[in-house]
Amino acid sequence: MGIDFQHVVELMPDITKAFGETLYMISISLAVALVFGLPLGILLFVTDKGLFLENIVVKSVLGFIVNMVRSIPYIILLVALIPLTKLIVGNPYGPAAASVSLSAAAIPFFARIVETSLREIDKGVIEAAIAVGATPWMIIKDVLFPEAKSSIIQGVTLTVISLVAYSAMAGVVGGGGIGDLAIRFGYYRYDNTIMIVTVVILIVFVQLIQFAGDWISKIIDKR
């Protein structure tokens, strides 16, 4: 074992390409998760018992779907969604294709995180808003969202880090990215250098995300 720098330089184009693909997959699926997971999480919260848009039917149906998707291991979801991926992207390989299943996994994951963040809000603040005669939309926009913002940012961090892990799995079935690189070189060719480099990149990347997430969440919190 040991690092062969010559070899790293040689493979630099492959490494940057793979890292770029990973970023691409994560960005797309994170964007999708934010766009769909945030409203879904809010909906899960406000339709709960005792809240201002209480609706048992909506709550249980959404909750069931979310739980269902979340109970499927990612690798199975990846395979199961191949037909859907073909429909959306055209082919089942590559980073764009992997983004479909990554998004599918990230939406319910992030939605639950949002719901949990909202649950931490002091119920009294919501009540005070109701007492003042605010509309549900005002309460969501000016009370729920700002009050949970800091905690939701932490949730975004968690989602991104999970996506890093999932995206590496997507690599196994030809999704491209860092995981793909590690499999092709590190596993099939016993290339320790590449293995170590990918591991280091992933560690640094995750640390950076965590650090950035903590920092943002802290500076926006006015408590």
- Interface positions with another protein (CB under 8 A): 122, 124-125, 127-135, 138, 142-143, 146-147, 149-150, 220-223
* CA–centroid distance for 58 within its chain: 24
What one-character DSSP code corresponds to residue 183? I
10 vs 127 by CB, closer to another protein: 127
Closest by CA position to 194, among listed 173, 170, 212, 171: 171
8 vs 130 by CB, closer to another protein: 130
Q: How far is the CB of 154 from another protein (least distance, A)?
A: 15
Q: How far is the CB of 180 from another protein (least distance, A)?
A: 41
Measured distance CA(69)–CA(83) in Å, rounded: 16
125 vs 203 by CB, closer to another protein: 125
Closest by CA position to 75, among listed 5, 157, 166: 166
10 Å Cβ neighbour count for 177? 27
Q: How far is the CB of 119 from another protein (least distance, A)?
A: 16
86 vs 218 by CB, closer to another protein: 218
Cα dihedral 123, 124, 126, 130 sign: positive
Q: How far is the CB of 45 from another protein (least distance, A)?
A: 17
